[in-house]
Amino acid sequence: MAASNAQSLLLLPGDGIGPEVTSEARRIAEAVAPDIKMEEAPFGGISYDKFGEPLTAEVLARAKKADAVLMGAVGGPQWDKAPRAKRPEAALLAMRKELDVYANIRPAYCFAALAPYSALKQHLVDGLDIVIVRELTSGVYFGQPKEITDLSNGERRAVDTQSYTTSEIRRVARVAFELARGRKRPGVRFAGVLSCEKSNVMETGVLWREEVAKLHGEDYEDVQLDHMLADAAAMHLVKAPKDINVILADNLFGDILSDEAAMLTGSIGMLPSASLGDPGGPGLYEPVHGSAPDIAGKGLANPCAAILSLEMVMRWSLKRPEAADRIWKAVDQALAAGARTADLGGKLTTREMSEQILKRL
Ligand code: NAD
Ligand code: IPM
Ligand code: MN
C-alpha cells in the first residue's frame, strides 16, 4: 500500500509499442482520476540497456509499494540474444512472481461495433463475453529443472518442468469460482467454470482436475463446473465461443487460450488483463499483447488494450467503479462511432484513437 493517502499507480511503459500505448492510458488516468499519484519507471529491454538489468531492485521495490502497476509490454528482437535471465521476458516473469500475482484475469469481450472484425463469423461472437483465469506464477514457466544440457553423444537436451502443488491450484481456482459466481449466465452451456487441462496425458492435469473438483465440492456447489481437455477447449473456443463463461487454465494453456480468444474480439490490441494476488498486495495490469516490434514507433498501435487495462486498475485495485465505468463506456462509444486503428481496418493513429476515447469520458 502507498505510504501517503493518495492512491499510487506505477507505470512501466517498457519496450516497442509499450511506451506508445501506456502514455495514452496515462492521459485517460489523468482525466478520470487526477488525484492518483502516477510515476514511471524503466522496465524490460530499456532497463537492461541502461542498467544491465531488465528489472532493477529499485523498480521492484517501487512496484511492491504501489497500489497498482500498469505495464506496457516488454521484449524485442534486439534482446533475444541476451542471456535468458537478463531478457525482458525474464523481468516480466520475475515481476509476476515477486508480486505473487497468481491469478491472471483476461476478459475476452467483443464490443458490439467490433463483431464484424472478429476472425469468426459475426453471429458466433455477437455478445461474446468470456473471462479467462490463467494461473500465472507456477507451472512450466517456473518449474525446475529448466535447462539445456550437452549430451555425451553430441546431442543437446532441453528440459522444462511442469509442476503444480495443491495450494497453487486451489488459490487460482477459487478466483475463477468467485468470478463465475458473480457472472451468472443462464442458458449458457458451460455456465460457470470451464476448467482446462490435459489430465489424459499429464500428472499435473490429473492433480488440477482433482483439486478443482474438490474445492468445488467444498465451497462452490452453486457454481456450475465443467472439465475439458485443453486441446478440445481450444477447438470449442472457435466452434461455439458463446458456450463459455469462465475458463480456468494453468500458466501455459491459459497463455495460449487467451491469445486465441483475443482474435475472437477483433484484435489482440483490444485485450486487457489484471494479475491479482491475495488482497492487500498490488495488482499488475498489462495488455495481453506484446511489444509489437513490427509496428513500434509508427503510431499504429491500438491503445485500447492498455486503456482497458487502466479500466481494470480502477475497478480491481483502486476500487473506483465509477471511473472504470466511464472508461469502458467511452471506449464502447468511440468504437460505435467508427473510431478504429489500423489493426481494425481503420486509419486512426494511436493518439487519435485515444483522443476519441478521451472526448467521450
Ligand atoms: P505481439 O503481441 O507483440 O504481436 C503480435 C501481432 O499483433 C503483431 O503483428 C503486432 O503488430 C500485432 N499487435 C500487437 N499488439 C497490437 C496493438 N496494440 N495494436 C495493433 N497491433 C498489435 O506478439 P509477438 O510478436 O509474438 O511478440 C513480440 C515481442 O513481445 C516478443 O519479444 C515477446 O516476447 C513480447 N511479448 C511481451 C508481452 C508482454 O510484455 N506482456 C506479451 C507478449 C509478447
Ligand atoms: C503474455 C506473454 C508472456 C507470457 C511472455 C512475454 C513471457 O506471452 O503475457 O501472455 O508468456 O506470459
Ligand atoms: Mn501470451
- For residues 265 and 307, state if they share a domain: no
- For residues 154 and 240, state if they share a domain: yes
- For residues 86 and 131, state if they share a domain: no
- For residues 184 and 249, state if they share a domain: yes
The reported pLDDT for the residue numbered 2 is 46
Q: What is the 3-state secondary structure (H, E, C) of 20-64?
A: HHHHHHHHHHHHHCCCCEEEECCCCHHHHHHHCCCCCHHHHHHHH
Give how many domains the chain has, as a whole number. 2
Q: Which atom of ligand 1 is closest in space to residue 77's alpha carbon?
A: 32
Show which of 271, 291, 323 is a domain's final residue: 271
Q: Decide if pLDDT at 262 tops 90.
A: no
Tell me how far the alpha carbon of residue 338 lies from the centroid of ligand 2, in angstroms: 30
- For residues 212 and 85, state if they share a domain: no
- For residues 258 and 302, state if they share a domain: no
β-pairing, 129-135 vs 103-109, is antiparallel
Tell me how far the alpha carbon of residue 16 lies from the centroid of ligand 2, in angstroms: 15
- For residues 123 and 256, state if they share a domain: yes
β-pairing, 190-197 vs 156-161, is unpaired
- For residues 136 and 191, state if they share a domain: yes
Question: What is the share, in percent, of the chain residues with pLDDT greater than 90?
Answer: 94
Q: What is the pLDDT of residues 322-349, one digit of tens each?
A: 999 999 999 999 999 999 999 999 999 9
Identify the residues whose C-beta falls under 6 Å from ligand 1: 17, 21, 73-76, 89, 92, 268-269, 286, 289-295, 301-302, 305, 343
Tell me how far the alpha carbon of residue 290 lies from the centroid of ligand 2, in angstroms: 8
Q: What is the pLDDT of residues 52-70, one digit of tens each?
A: 999 999 999 999 999 999 9
pTM of the model: 0.95
Q: Which domain holds residue 335?
A: 1-102+277-361
- For residues 9 and 157, state if they share a domain: no
At 339, which CATH number?
3.40.718.10
Q: Is 135 in the pocket of ligand 2 (CB under 6 A)?
A: no
Show which of 271, 301, 321 is a domain's final residue: 271
- For residues 320 and 231, state if they share a domain: no
Q: pLDDT confidence of 306, banded at 50, 70, 90?
A: very high
